[in-house]
Amino acid sequence: MIKTGPKERTIWLVAQSNVAVRNITEKLDKVGFRDFKLLVSKDFHHDWHEDLYQSLEHFILCTLSTLSNPNIDTITRIVSVQTVIFDEASQIEVGDYVPLLQHFQNSLKKMVFIGDDKQPCRFLDVKMGREESVGHSWINQKEISAVIGLARLYETQGKKFKILTPYDAQRTKIEEQLKSAELLWEDKCFNVDSFQGNEEDHIIVSLVRSQGVGFLKNVRRTNVMLTRCKKSMIICTSRDFVMRGQAAGTLVGKLAVTMGPQAWQDTHRDSQPLGGHLDAKVRH
């Protein structure tokens, strides 16, 4: 757009979170493209790429909430909002676009939505997995065993992976088990919310719940959880819960229906994945 479009046309690149904006900025910087300026809150940027804040250009990166903030009206009067590119557009709820459309209706010419509609994906049916309450959080021991088995398999194969779960208690237990099994455990397991804006080649998800829907009621947060992979994702859960139980109507349940029965993989009696067969199915 910068090379072929009108010189006076302004371009805004927008993402849902500051982390996502930072990731885009670092990738542009890595490939030598630096004809842009970054717009983030003072408490976020610290001393990071201070030179990117010095002046305004025709290509600006920011979050959607920043763009909708009336405090930047002085900036948008200088660099009008004409073309907007939305990264990970599916992370943004439809209603969140309304203030942008209303505020910039006189200048907005083009909106570009970028996302991945073909995430590779598999489900691991964790037999007899049961949710257990731990304080205000939840754990699922069978899913922990399944995750450890997958982590061992991926580590043996030299794959880059991260583990996501909606519940802090489960994240803590998985981390403890990784360490106990002498597997890589530092910077490996994350709460879903803390991983927003980040990504990894391979993602292992532990849903934890097997009866109550809990976290899965929140479509936006569930969507974040399901869109962190670059190559493959395995969701550890109960098939009965997702296909016929309370989770059937959730985003995960709809994903399972879309992927079909061939997306499901069973575990051994000891909850360990069927290594070779599973690897063949999740290879991207």
**SS3 labels along 26-72:** HHHHHCCCCCCEECCCHHHHCCCCHHHHCCCCCEEEEEHHHHCCHHH
Structural domain harbouring 193 = 122-282
Clarify whether residues 237 and 155 are in a common domain.
yes
Q: How far apart are CA 82 and CA 96, in angstroms?
A: 18
Clarify whether residues 138 and 213 are in a common domain.
yes
Q: How far apart are CA 154 and CA 234, in angstroms?
A: 12
pLDDT value of residue 184: 94
Is residue 60 included in any domain, yes or no? yes
Output the six-digit token pair for 73.
């009206």
> How many Cα atoms occupy the beta-carbon half-sphere of 209 within 13 Å?
18
pLDDT value of residue 29: 86
Is residue 198 included in any domain, yes or no? yes
| Beta partners for residue 123, in sequence order | 235, 264
Identify the CA nearest to 242 among candidates 202, 281, 205.
Answer: 205
Clarify whether residues 144 and 221 are in a common domain.
yes
Output the six-digit token pair for 273.
């994945």
How many domains does one find in the chain?
A: 2
Is residue 1 included in any domain, yes or no? no
Clarify whether residues 81 and 64 are in a common domain.
yes
pLDDT value of residue 46: 53
Clarify whether residues 147 and 65 are in a common domain.
no
Clarify whether residues 178 and 277 are in a common domain.
yes
Clarify whether residues 225 and 259 are in a common domain.
yes
Among left, alpha and beta (phi > 0; psi -120 to 50; other), residue 90 is alpha
Identify the CA nearest to 208 among candidates 159, 249, 172.
Answer: 172
pLDDT value of residue 119: 63
Is residue 266 included in any domain, yes or no? yes
Clarify whether residues 100 and 128 are in a common domain.
no
Which of 113, 148, 178 is at the close of a domain? 113
Backbone angles phi, psi at 11, to 5 degrees: -130, 130
Q: How far apart are CA 82 and CA 106, in angstroms?
A: 9
Is residue 236 included in any domain, yes or no? yes
pLDDT value of residue 117: 64
| List of the chain residues with pLDDT < 70 | 41-58, 116-119, 268-284
CATH number reported for the structural domain that contains residue 206 in this entry? 3.40.50.300
The residues, any chain, with a CB within 8 Å of residue 198's CB and separated by 6 or more, are: 19, 23, 162, 190, 228
Which of 113, 135, 157 is at the close of a domain? 113
Clarify whether residues 277 and 151 are in a common domain.
yes
pLDDT value of residue 42: 66
pLDDT value of residue 275: 44
Which of 113, 147, 175 is at the close of a domain? 113
Q: How far apart are CA 64 and CA 100, in angstroms?
A: 8
Identify the CA nearest to 72 among candidates 95, 48, 46, 42.
Answer: 42
The residues, any chain, with a CB within 8 Å of residue 269's CB and separated by 6 or more, are: 127
Clarify whether residues 104 and 133 are in a common domain.
no
Q: Which amino acid is at 273?
A: P
The pTM score is 0.68
pLDDT value of residue 34: 84
Is residue 3 included in any domain, yes or no? no
Q: How far apart are CA 48 and CA 85, in angstroms?
A: 23
88 SS3 class: coil
Clarify whether residues 96 and 217 are in a common domain.
no
Clarify whether residues 149 and 276 are in a common domain.
yes
pLDDT value of residue 54: 47
- b/e per residue 2-38 (b: at least 16 CB within 10 A): eeeeeeeebbbbbbbbbbbbbbbbeebeeeeeeebbb
